[in-house]
Amino acid sequence: MRRAFPSPLAILVSILVTVPLASARGISWVLVLPPLLLMLDRLMKIRGVSKSGGSDSTAPFLLAFSRLLGSTSPGEALVSAFSTSVPDERLLKPLLELREGVAAASVVRRFSKQMHVESQTFEAIAALLGFDRASSSERLRSLVKLREDRRKVRQDLEVRLRAISMRFKMLSMISSASLAVTAFASPILGSFFSEQRLGAAMGRPMISFDFPAFSVFYSIALLSSYLPTKALPHVGWLGSALRASAAYFVTYLALVVAVGIAF
Amino acid sequence: MPLLEKDHTQARSASLNAFCRRSILPSRSLARLSTVLGYDAIEVHGVAGRDLLVAGLNLLALSTLAILIAILFFGLPLHSALAVPVAAALLAVLPWITDAGSGIRDLFDAAHSFEIFATVLLATGNLALAASKAAEVPGSASGNFSKAVMSMRDGVRPEKAILQSFSGKDICSDWVKSAVNGREGEISPVISNWYNELHGRILKAEDMLSLLIALSTILPIGLSMVMAVWGLASTPLSPLLILAFSAALTAIFCWFKGLEAILS
């Protein structure tokens, strides 16, 4: 039962759905809905796709180092690459050891101890430096190219996810606005297919607040704006719920005002 | 009984006992339920899946009790209790729909491991060293590399150990095979193919997420129209419809997750 508590939204939706029933029947739904919504919530729980971006701060350094390695000694290439781009301030101390005659491969190995995320990359580079200069340079360039390919693919994913997230934000607001329209027109729509409801609608004024429809459709708007946020990394559930709520309330109010002015 | 099979049975039994202890249901009914549901299906989903199932079963037991009390003592109509079969159906179906699989993020992590593996392999020609370095990179592939290193320590040939540890791992298996067989040559094309594959998966994931978003927009409007036209908003059927809507959206998401393994 670890972390098995209902989300605030599950409770809100349960209340929104059960209050219009306005009877003892509602109690059972208050008991049943939050756990069920919680289960759905847990099923859709995911890890963020974009959280392990890795360190891109070393990319310019490695690119410069691989280029310089072809024309200069590994030690000189390291110092020159550092002057182009500093991947991490902590690496300066091991770099100064070059002046004491420590081999470039050992310095790079010491870099790996300072870098937690990229330690294996620097270990691999230290191993590459054991080759002759031309071969090391070529292989290091190949490694840098691979890292660059990985970064491009990740960026591509990021861009696509951001675009989808933006699309979702807009569609969720449109959907909430449509739900508000349906909630407002619910008595009229219902009267088309039932003589009993038609009679009830005829006896009411043009603008009447249908609380059950308002409440139930609002809960649908909340759910439909909340559930997909579990799959999208750049959309927060609270922001999405607030956006949907704002679109819903504003549309409903706009309809009340517009119809009020017209009739 | 072979030793490995015996160990596996004992491990399963211990795991099932631990699972039973955390549930409020009697262990005998849980054991029967796990047989009906398929214990392996529970086991596949790992710790998160088991937590979910335990929480779900406990909540289901409490909900059933609450519904029974409500019907018996408060005279509630029977259709309110429809939520119980809905919950049971959800519990029974969704764990099967949700499939573990490797996610895009896992593929990214694995790509990092493989870069290190390829670089060390190129630099040293030593498979064991390359595997041990790749095993230190955090991510899903490091477990397989660790397994390979352990096998090597047990005397298995490095090539065989690595290929065995990735056997049945789809794209990873193909990659390792190419890397091990082509270690004297150029590995970059192999990794480039990896990225092409990853890019393909990202495109599929994008399509599926777009479809999920479209459905999350269209379904509520359709549902609201049906409810408005039939006047269901103020009837006890409305919570059931809303629950079914949420379940449908979750099921679609879980299906995508299982189908293309968007996320783990």
SS (H, E, C) B7-32: HHHHHHHHHHHHHHHCCCCCHHHHHH
Q: Looking at residue B145, what is its pLDDT? A: 85
Quick one: DSSP state of residue A115? -
Kind plus residue range of the DSSP H or E element containing A190:
helix A133-191
Three-class SS state of B69: helix
Q: What average pLDDT is seen over chain A?
A: 76
The DSSP element (H or E) to which B251 belongs, if any, is: helix B237-260
For the residues A77-94, what does the mean pLDDT come to? Answer: 78
How far does B229 lie from chain A, in Å, by closest CA? 4
Contact assignment for B262 to A230 by CB distance below 8 Å: no
Which pLDDT band, with edges at 50, 70 and 90, does B48 fall under? Answer: very low
Q: What is the pLDDT of residue B164?
A: 83
- Give me the pLDDT at residue A226, please: 82
**pLDDT tens-digit map of B120-178:** 777 777 788 888 888 887 777 788 888 888 888 888 888 888 888 877 666 677 777 77
- Kindly report, residue by residue over B200-258, the tens digit of the pLDDT: 777 777 777 788 788 888 888 988 888 888 887 777 677 777 777 877 777 777 666 55
Give the whole-angstrom CA distance, residue B240 versus residue B259.
Answer: 28
Contact A200, A191 (CB under 8 A): yes
Strand residue runs (E) in chain A: none
pLDDT in tens, A167-197: 999 999 999 999 999 999 888 887 777 666 6
Name which of A84, A83, A139, A128 is nearest A104 in CA terms.
A128
The enclosing H or E element of A176 equals helix A133-191
Nearest alpha-carbon partner for A48 in A158, A126, A176, A148: A158
Four-residue CA torsion sign, A106, A94, A66, B120 = positive
According to the model, what pLDDT value does residue A52 have? 44
Quick one: pLDDT at residue B82? Answer: 56
| pLDDT for res A243 | 93
Amino acid identity, position B22: R
Question: CB distance B242–A210 less than 8 Å?
Answer: no
What DSSP string describes B200-222?
HHHHHHHHHHHHHHHHHHHHHHH
> In which band, very low, low, confident or very high, does the pLDDT at A251 lie, cut at 50, 70 and 90?
very high
CB distance A26 to A18 below 8 Å: yes
Our CA angle for B123, B125, B131, nearest 5°, is 95
The answer to whether the beta carbons of residues B261 and B99 sit under 8 Å apart is yes
pLDDT at position B98: 46
- Confidence band (pLDDT; 50, 70, 90) for A41? low
Q: How far apart are CA A222 and CA A17, in angstroms?
A: 11
What whole-number distance in Å separates Cα of residue A136 and Cα of residue A131?
5
Interface of A with B in 157-196 (CB under 8 A): 157, 160-161, 164, 167-168, 171-172, 174-175, 178-179, 182-183, 185-186, 189-190, 192-194
More confident residue, A42 or B132: B132
Instruction: Pick A115 or A243 by higher pLDDT.
Output: A243
- Assess whether pLDDT exceeds 60 at residue A108: yes
Mean pLDDT of B10-21: 60
- Residue B165 token pair: 């540890």
Contact assignment for A182 to B221 by CB distance below 8 Å:
yes
Percentage of chain A lying above the pLDDT 70 cut: 71
| Residue B2 pLDDT > 50 | no
Q: Residues A34, A14: contact at Cβ < 8 Å?
A: yes
Sign of the CA dihedral running B259, B33, B54, B18: negative
CB contact under 8 A, A146 and B253: no
- Take residue B159 and report the two structure tokens written for it: 């090539």
Cβ-Cβ pairs closer than 8 A, A with B, add up to: 280
When pLDDT is averaged across residues B185-198 and rounded to a whole number, the result is: 66
Q: What is the pLDDT of residue B58?
A: 60
pLDDT reported for residue A1? 39
Between B202 and A35, residue with greater pLDDT: B202
* Confidence tier at B5 by pLDDT (50, 70, 90): very low
Q: At what angle do helices A74-84 and A104-114 cross, to 10 degrees?
A: 40
Closest by CA to A135, choosing from B123, B191, B179, B126, is: B123
> How much is the pLDDT for B152?
86
Rounded CA-CA distance B8/B39 in Å is 13
Of A56-60, B38-42, B61-65, B197-201, the poorest mean pLDDT is in B38-42
Contact partners, residue B150, CB within 8 Å, separation at least 6:
none
Whole-structure pTM value? 0.64
- The mean predicted confidence, pLDDT, of chain B is 67
Distance set, CA B28 to CA B21, B31, B34, B130, B263 (Å): 11, 5, 10, 49, 35
Which of B:53-72 have CB within 8 Å of A? 54-56, 58-60, 62-63, 66-67, 70
B105 → closest Cβ in A3, A52, A183: A52
Q: Between the ranges A156-160, B22-26, B138-142, B168-172, where is the mean pLDDT highest?
A: A156-160
